[in-house]
Chains A and B, each alone.
Chain A
């Protein structure tokens, strides 16, 4: 809502200037009206005058230009003009030499060989509006040479204020002035309306019938005859221009002005076009056609409220007039409408037509049904003043069931309880009365408040408590600390695990990503789970919800590969969504992705690429750190989006708790990735199931030295290291502390189809030092075991 300081001064005698503007902006914000912008308007019109076009002929060398001779009072100037509407006899705004039009300064010049001194201006060139349809035509009564400063010069401050959607009353100057008057402690002065009615009665000239009083509780009409449509006077034009409205003609300008002043929209019909001299307020018929003021043809339905005459619809109630019923230059008799509509009905029309107007904005929020007489009389008096004519006697007022102010009680004790501090009853009463909430003391704890109908937002006690603290000042609310409420917690059980897992993954050197939950459905296919579709997606890239966390990680990997990022080591936690037997399931999950260069070549290490053992290592480290005691892996039932030959399921208790390994070529291809990508994914539910609550059992430390021995085993390529390790453990018993693969050799020396693994065993005795003999015995036992039981060759 734009508020001009100059205009506001008509209602509250308070000067806003450059000196107090910051203070005003602050105080308005504290009162609930935030400034989204403050504009200082200063229109000097230096070197602009009114001129008379004496002559206007075609330019000899240009089709679209004309040569004008313009009397500017002090001289008659030759001016080349490009506007199609230029004609002799017009009174026009002229920029003289030295005048600044937009960003350039007018100079004596030649245009296509013809001298031109000055410029005839359009409205936009004067900064009055955006209109550039032709030169602006001024009032013929003006004397040539009249400075434009006298006409349009102004200095003003215009606030762009945010009015919250509950405050319909503040969308008019008078309503806002009520608040401003409270804030500045200056009296509010509403314009007095002195109405001079003719003898002829309204009653015989217009009849009003409301067929849907639920949708239209009140409709007032007034007829003004014998008016003369013309331009508005400058004071009116200036007011409208100040808040960004383009002047049209006196009657339309007055309806706009009164809407801005009172906050109550009104409409003017040409009475000639109201067939049967009858207004019928009804819902449209299904399929009924209507053409709006701006030429849009609509096909209506039975939820749209219409203002109709005896034959046809004349306006979309509360939103916009029709093309054929409005005021034109030829209009002599007008019907003024001031109505009150049900909020929901107007919203229905706005929703259906998608037409938003200054009028619909106010009706949607709720105007005052009981200010209709004032509004209609104010407009009628102004029309008579500016356009002449006779105001017929009486208002045609259809108001079958009166809407009355509500009475609401406010308890002081309750107010204190909600606010946490006390506001004096006397302050509440006096402040409420200043903004016309009639408050009186009922008993020691209770105020009785009559809420006027222009405040539909106040319906119960809590609304009054809010008003009380708003008027008291949000800046004066004390800051109290909350007290302890004990240990009762509503902590989500997963929350701690999620954070602990994120911390561990980050400490393993991984980079955390954060991706949209919405994805292109084509990426969901590889992951099997039935994905959830979004009904009205913004675009195809966001038409489904992700059904795996690998999906966003693979998308991220692809994007970063394209950016030539060599090392991609990322993780993400978050929700995945899918259908499970018709129900939408949401699961918190975690996923890791590794691809590309693990470490670049540097003086101490050659370049290495990520491989299967990296993802296995990270998963093992992670699960160990999370206190998963006995890890089991299995390569049965590997999900199809992994490559079966390089992937493992984490299992416990016979159930799959997560999968890691190489993403299958086909899946990677969906994401246009052509390099090996290693991933891990598990849901928090799966991870949670693996966690053991037992604490670590500490091992006793031995006094005797540890012995380390290697054996190299020649085995078929298909044989797994795990099997050999398990057998060594079985044979050695407790004395074996650890066994690991220290070296792998494949090549000519061992022959094809074979590989040589060197197992490094550490033996830790607890009772004595191992002698050479003991060790030899142990080694022989192991070697024989491997030879005989597993048919392996020892090198």
Chain B
């Protein structure tokens, strides 16, 4: 029995002598694996005289448990990297982060601002009929956009929408004023592609129809929007323009966010950036969807999302947005 106790001391001391994780594992294999010294002791129980068996069993059981305990505590100790081992200059283990597409970043920003101003985000089909794209919008029969060669048709009287204005018509058809929506989305033109034109691009159009909606509110709304986008000291300028679906109509210039109107390369020295078109919904358009144009008035506006994104991120070629080069996208 003394032998046994001696053996126990020797084994436990030997285990304790392990100086690192690997050595500790070696000791575990040496003593506790299937063919380990301690494991093998259990096989010897049957050789012990029956009267001593219980005691023997007790001792080797304790030995096994103690050995386990020491090994586990040593392993715990050695696996905890001690502070001397930390190389502070190695990079941290960063959780992965993805990225949003720049056009959607801009779109999300527009949605956020307009939602705060009480606009809802509306959607509609991208394949539309001529009625929703042209007729309902007071587009004269001779308008160039109506040419089969200027739009992308998929069937007779079915074409990819050239404006998201069709969403405005569908929204107004479905309900009763007031309406206050924006309809960001893709639009399509049969256009040769170059650095500033693509056959598919994104617009964000807005519509507000109610009693007493005025041209001045349109200007105020766009000013608030651009202030939210480009900062408090942003100014908005209206210039008269012609669109068949609005009257009075205007083109919207915004003071250059870069040079604050002094003139720089971004605004081509003018101090202004042309960023959209707008106007009071033409009475005929309201009449086309059964709204009394004497009782209700409305305004509408359209912004080009690619243009905003190109300005914001300094992208010079519009085609970069749909190229989906991951080296480009990962920067956002």
Write the residues of chain A forming the contact surface with B, with a CB cutoff of 8 angstroms: 29-32, 34, 164-167, 343-344, 347, 351, 364, 417-421, 457, 460, 462-463, 465-466, 469-470, 474-475, 477-482, 484-485, 488-492, 494-495, 499, 502, 505-518, 532-538, 542, 545, 552, 556, 559-560, 563, 565, 568-571, 574-575, 577, 584, 586, 602-604
24 pairs of residues in contact across A and B, judged by CB atoms under 8 Å: A32-B239, A164-B241, A344-B141, A347-B142, A417-B212, A418-B214, A420-B216, A469-B248, A479-B236, A485-B210, A491-B122, A495-B123, A507-B98, A511-B98, A512-B99, A512-B100, A513-B101, A514-B103, A514-B322, A534-B160, A536-B148, A563-B327, A571-B98, A577-B127
> Chain A residue with minimal CB distance to B151?
A536
| A462 and B325 form a contact (CB under 8 A) | no
| B171 and A510 form a contact (CB under 8 A) | no
Interface check B224, CB cutoff 8 A: yes
Q: How far is the CA of A479 from the CA of B226 in the complex (A)?
A: 13
| B282 and A494 form a contact (CB under 8 A) | no
The answer to whether A418 and B117 touch (CB under 8 A), given A481-B220, A511-B330, A560-B326, is no
| Chain A neighbourhood of B17, CB < 8 A | none
| B127 and A474 form a contact (CB under 8 A) | no
| B329 and A512 form a contact (CB under 8 A) | yes
| Chain A neighbourhood of B251, CB < 8 A | 34
| B154 and A535 form a contact (CB under 8 A) | yes
**Which one, A344, A421, A511, A517, contacts B216 given CB within 8 A?**
A421
| Chain B neighbourhood of A29, CB < 8 A | 239
> Chain B residue with minimal CB distance to A484?
B118
Interface mask (B97-108 → A, CB under 8 Å = 1, otherwise 0): 111110110001
Interface check B31, CB cutoff 8 A: no
| B126 and A575 form a contact (CB under 8 A) | yes
**Which one, A478, A509, A515, A574, contacts B97 given CB within 8 A?**
A509
The answer to whether A494 and B123 touch (CB under 8 A), given A481-B224, A482-B208, A507-B98, is yes
| B149 and A584 form a contact (CB under 8 A) | no
Nearest CB of chain B from residue A356's CB, rounded to whole Å:
11
Q: How far is the CA of A31 from the CA of B241 in the complex (A)?
A: 9
Interface check B301, CB cutoff 8 A: no
Q: How far is the CA of A538 from the CA of B198 in the complex (A)?
A: 11
| B153 and A418 form a contact (CB under 8 A) | no
| A480 and B240 form a contact (CB under 8 A) | no
Which of the segments B58-66, B72-80, B174-182 contacts the partner chain? Answer: B174-182
Q: How far is the CA of A552 from the CA of B91 in the complex (A)?
A: 35
| A344 and B142 form a contact (CB under 8 A) | yes
The answer to whether A565 and B327 touch (CB under 8 A), given A480-B214, A536-B190, is yes
**Which one, B118, B186, B190, contacts A538 given CB within 8 A?**
B190
| Chain B neighbourhood of A513, CB < 8 A | 101, 324, 329
Q: How far is the CA of A509 from the CA of B99 in the complex (A)?
A: 7
Which of B152, B188, B326, B329 counts the most A-chain CB atoms under 10 A from its CB?
A: B326
Q: Which residues in window 212-260 of B have CB below 8 A to A?
A: 212-217, 219-221, 223-224, 236-242, 247-251
| Chain B neighbourhood of A165, CB < 8 A | 242
Write the residues of chain B forming the contact surface with A, with a CB cutoff of 8 angstroms: 90-91, 93, 95-101, 103-104, 108, 117-118, 120-123, 125-127, 141-142, 147-149, 152-155, 158, 160, 171, 175, 178-181, 186, 188, 190-193, 199-200, 208, 210, 212-217, 219-221, 223-224, 236-242, 247-251, 280, 282-283, 297, 321-327, 329-330
> Chain B residue with minimal CB distance to A586?
B125
| A495 and B178 form a contact (CB under 8 A) | no
| B142 and A417 form a contact (CB under 8 A) | no
| A506 and B98 form a contact (CB under 8 A) | yes
The answer to whether A534 and B153 touch (CB under 8 A), given A418-B215, A485-B178, is yes
Nearest CB of chain A from residue B104's CB, rounded to whole Å:
6
Q: How far is the CA of A373 from the CA of B297 in the complex (A)?
A: 43
Nearest CB of chain A from residue B288's CB, rounded to whole Å:
14
> Chain A residue with minimal CB distance to B174?
A490
The answer to whether A417 and B214 touch (CB under 8 A), given A491-B120, A560-B326, is yes
Q: How far is the CA of A490 from the CA of B96 in the complex (A)?
A: 37
The answer to whether A420 and B199 touch (CB under 8 A), given A167-B242, A474-B238, A474-B239, is no
| A538 and B142 form a contact (CB under 8 A) | no
What are the 9 A-B residue pairs with the smallest beta carbon separation, nearest first? Answer: A420-B214, A509-B96, A420-B216, A32-B240, A164-B242, A466-B248, A479-B220, A491-B120, A492-B123
> Chain B residue with minimal CB distance to A604?
B93
| A505 and B98 form a contact (CB under 8 A) | yes
The answer to whether A485 and B118 touch (CB under 8 A), given A463-B247, A480-B216, is yes
| A474 and B212 form a contact (CB under 8 A) | no
| A560 and B248 form a contact (CB under 8 A) | no
Nearest CB of chain A from residue B87's CB, rounded to whole Å:
9
| A477 and B123 form a contact (CB under 8 A) | no
Q: How far is the CA of A463 from the CA of B242 in the complex (A)?
A: 11
The answer to whether A479 and B223 touch (CB under 8 A), given A419-B216, A466-B249, A538-B199, is yes
> Chain B residue with minimal CB distance to A22?
B270
Q: How far is the CA of A506 from the CA of B324 in the complex (A)?
A: 16
| B98 and A518 form a contact (CB under 8 A) | no
The answer to whether A465 and B101 touch (CB under 8 A), given A490-B181, A494-B123, is no
| A488 and B127 form a contact (CB under 8 A) | no
| A419 and B175 form a contact (CB under 8 A) | no
**Which one, B101, B180, B219, B325, contacts A563 given CB within 8 A?**
B325
Known: A480-B219, A502-B104, A517-B200. 16 other contacts (CB 8 A): A32-B239, A419-B214, A419-B216, A462-B247, A469-B248, A470-B240, A481-B220, A482-B180, A509-B97, A510-B98, A511-B330, A538-B192, A545-B160, A577-B127, A584-B158, A586-B127
| Chain B neighbourhood of A509, CB < 8 A | 95-98
Nearest CB of chain B from residue A513's CB, rounded to whole Å:
4
| Chain A neighbourhood of B237, CB < 8 A | 30, 474-475
The answer to whether A477 and B324 touch (CB under 8 A), given A466-B247, A536-B190, is no
**Which one, A166, A482, A560, contacts B217 given CB within 8 A?**
A482
| A32 and B241 form a contact (CB under 8 A) | yes
| Chain B neighbourhood of A31, CB < 8 A | 240
Nearest CB of chain B from residue A446's CB, rounded to whole Å:
15
| A506 and B326 form a contact (CB under 8 A) | no
Q: How far is the CA of A513 from the CA of B118 in the complex (A)?
A: 29
Which of B108, B180, B210 counts the most A-chain CB atoms under 10 A from its CB?
A: B180
Nearest CB of chain B from residue A688's CB, rounded to whole Å:
14
| Chain B neighbourhood of A575, CB < 8 A | 126, 186
Q: How far is the CA of A466 from the CA of B240 in the complex (A)?
A: 9
| Chain B neighbourhood of A514, CB < 8 A | 101, 103-104, 321-322, 324
Q: How far is the CA of A577 from the CA of B188 in the complex (A)?
A: 15
Q: How far is the CA of A364 from the CA of B91 in the complex (A)?
A: 68
> Chain B residue with minimal CB distance to A475?
B237
| Chain B neighbourhood of A494, CB < 8 A | 123
The answer to whether A478 and B239 touch (CB under 8 A), given A495-B121, A512-B100, A563-B327, is no
| B100 and A532 form a contact (CB under 8 A) | no
The answer to whether A584 and B154 touch (CB under 8 A), given A351-B147, A485-B178, A603-B90, is yes
Nearest CB of chain B from residue A461's CB, rounded to whole Å:
8
